Amino acid sequence: MMGLKAVVVTVLLAAALSYYIYTPMPDAIQEPWKLMAVDAAFRTGMNLAALKYHLGIDHYITAFRRSMEGFESTMVVLVGSRSPAGVVPGVKISDITFAGVPVRVYEPPAGGEGHLRRGLMYLHGGGWAYGSNKMGAYDKVSRMISDELNTVVVSVEYRLFPEVLFPEPFLDCVAAAKHFLSPEVLDKYAIDPERVAVSGDSAGGNLAAAVAQEVATDDSVTVKFSVQALIYPVLQALDFNTPSYVQNRNMAILPRHIMVQFWLQYLGADISLKPQLIANNHSALQHSALTPELRSRLDWTSLLSQKFTKSYKPVVVERDSHGLLKKIPGLLDTRSSPLLAGPEVLAKCPRTYILTCEFDVLRDDGLMYARRLKDAGVSVTSDHYEDGFHGCLSFINWPLDFDVGKRALRSYMTWLQNNL
């Protein structure tokens, strides 16, 4: 009888665990159970962080950061010799500051192609609240780019929420970028001033796009970025009902409600406003600041092809009874939303690479930006992954590696090799 009870309990626990882990996945996703497990780990970390916050033990952001660091340390122990730290031993690493901003500099081994080298500034993702340039995938990719492409990579450790709010992370990145682009620094690292890139993923892609615009339009900066490479970037916060936001609203890794929360945190707004933004009340027709010209800059009905618009309809609200644009002025700031920049700004941007994934709420942000840059006369390469999901480029280390992440990384590096 006791044996039967043990079997029943085991079966029930296994069923409960499966129910918790299971999240419906599109058929195109390869290794769906692995992605479900990763998503469940993230959700568990966030739920535990929220519990600690409600109990007054710790801030939920700080608690989740610690859980991520613990997960990272565990993976390093489990993976052992496959740890990213051992990938490219010849690359020189320096943790220093650029204009007071912490950066990690990766210098390629001696004996690369020619005297002058490429330069690349990288801005990590994490919703402006999480992440670090020292984390496994970011560190591994920086080492690979430095070694394989003979590139000096500068990975920026900009400040995060809740320690700072917008525009401080942007200002950190601008300060580091201008320092990096100074003739003295480029000369110190033997970098060709005609071959310097800015790149980033997700929230880092947002910052990279905003920094590229700032540098391109600042006449005091004599050396400009040659290219920008944006990986599933966040580019606007006025429409959370684009086809990709609706299609992927419950997708693993980055569901819509989490992305909206990231925006509210970054812009210093009350999290309780989340339902209002999800309903698009903040972009109601009554707002005089949202002119037809400004709305056209993120009008997905004209900027996206039928392949992506499908049968989706715009969500347009007549009135906003909460005064959201007054409460959250950062929503209209091009430094937070680069997609809102005018064509005269976009025309000055450098040659561009934009990577998007089908199963990502941010897909349409990247596709619309690619279209607007092209319309402004900028050379743009759009790299879309039909089986891709948000964050896939960070999943390249065994045992949490995905084929789509490896393919995306190789394509990104090949583009840099051919265009930088």
The residues annotated as belonging to the active site are 202, 360, 390
CA-to-CA distance for 287 and 327, rounded, in angstroms? Answer: 13
Which neighbouring-strand residues pair with 221? none
CA-to-CA distance for 228 and 291, rounded, in angstroms? Answer: 29
Taking alpha carbons only, the member of 121, 231, 108 closest to residue 179 is 121
Tokens representing residue 247 in the block? 């299609």
Tell me the three state secondary structure of residue 152: strand
- Rounded to 5°, angle at Cα 25 from 24 and 31: 125
Q: Which helix (H) or strand (E) holds 60?
A: helix 60-79
Taking alpha carbons only, the member of 185, 202, 192, 201 closest to residue 225 is 192
The conformation of residue 108, written as its DSSP 8-state character, comes to: P
Taking alpha carbons only, the member of 180, 171, 173, 139 closest to residue 157 is 173
Within 13 Å and on the Cβ side, how many CA atoms surround 331?
25
Tell me the three state secondary structure of residue 16: helix
Helices 136-148 and 403-419 sit at what angle, rounded to 10 degrees?
40
Cβ atoms 277, 239 nearer than 8 A: no
Tokens representing residue 163 in the block? 């320690």
